[in-house]
Amino acid sequence: MSIDSDPKFNPDTEKPIDRVLYIEIDEIPDIEEFIIGIKNLPIEEQLGRVSDFIKSKFKNAISPHNKNLPQEEKDKIQRVLKQEPKKLSEALCLEYGVCVEYHVLGKSIFDKLGIPCKFQKGRVPGGPGHTFLDIQVNGKWQIFDPFAEVYLSDAGRPDLKLLTPGYYESSESKK
């Protein structure tokens, strides 16, 4: 289920989904140049390039490697990520994000490319919330989740099969 159509979604209790409220992608020149550069590529190649582009723009804000950051830097990251409302450009300047920032950027790019895309949320029972994208490729929905790849890699477990299927229960690809 997408956020827009989820009757159980309560913005007062599930703020992480709402953190990035303003998407002004047209104002970010390198993103526009990137989109123009991949617009005519085959869709499979576009997906790989978009994933790589997103991963190049953000570091994982909840990475175990962040323990080496000075406390002042950790505090700044948390302050900006919790700030409401926030522009996507502010998150990009910070260079840190979690699934929300990764996937808002991805959704913006896919919208510009004309690739059908839905911003999704999931939750493992008793576990953390998570966002991901469903994208339609050749008439079929599939999951697009570059943040999960980065998160698992940073944790020393680069195998996406380790993700609990509960994260993706709401995916169009499961219907």
6-41 per-position pLDDT tens digit? 333 333 444 444 444 445 565 677 888 899 999 999
Highest mean pLDDT of the ranges 34-38, 156-160, 166-170? 34-38
Confidence bin at 102 (pLDDT 50/70/90): confident
pLDDT of 77: 73
3-state secondary structure 112-159: HHCCCEEEEEEECCCCCEEEEEEEEECCEEEEECHHHHHHHHHCCCCC
Contact 109, 35 (CB under 8 A): yes
- What does the pLDDT read at residue 147? 84
What domains lie within the chain, and their CATH numbers? 3-174 (3.10.620)
